[in-house]
Amino acid sequence: MKETKTFTEGKILKPLVLFVLPVLLALFLQAMYGAVDLLVVGKFASSVDVSAVSTGSQLMATITNLISSFAMGTTILLGQQIGSGKRKEGGETIGTAMVLFGIIALTMTVLILIFAPQLCRIMNAPEEAFNKTVAYVRICGGGTLIIVAYNLIGCIFRGLGDSNTPLITASW
């Protein structure tokens, strides 16, 4: 018989540490996406290209962290509902979060694509790398729907008590 993990009874430290480690590793891997872009560009392109990717990846990391932080609210609410045995409300929370974050993802994608030059000005992109920074932000911003979907699905799994699946999918 499979043992069910719970945070509502028994000792908390060991289950909590085992739950948090995959969360931290998944967030670390997500933060490394910009670093990998920099490594590749640094190996094969010019310093202007490195500057563009560096500035653009900082902007995208900020957006990703913002999305991830908002999605954590779903994790908390869902965890509370599941922990208290309110499975129906948990299902409603998942449905509501999917609709809400779908709207957020589409809106952010459009806004990033349209306002990439203004965002790059706010980030003080160097003039010689400005156009390439805008292009990088638009390319990455076009994938905002995927970024939002990954973070929301990961938060749903975590709210259900599974922090390993989001880690496994982050490492693909």
Reported as a single tens digit per residue, the pLDDT across 1-11 is: 444 556 666 77
**Band (139; pLDDT cuts 50, 70, 90):** very high
- The pLDDT > 90 percentage for the chain reads 38
Compute the average pLDDT of residues 13-23. 81
Separation in Å, CA 123 to CA 18, 25, 60, 139: 38, 28, 11, 17
pLDDT at 145 > cutoff 60: yes
Compute the average pLDDT of residues 89-99. 93
CB of 68 within 8 A of CB of 27?
yes
Q: Which helix (H) or strand (E) holds 113?
A: helix 87-122
24 or 120: which leads in pLDDT: 120
- Candidates 22, 24, 11, 10; CA nearest to 161 is 22
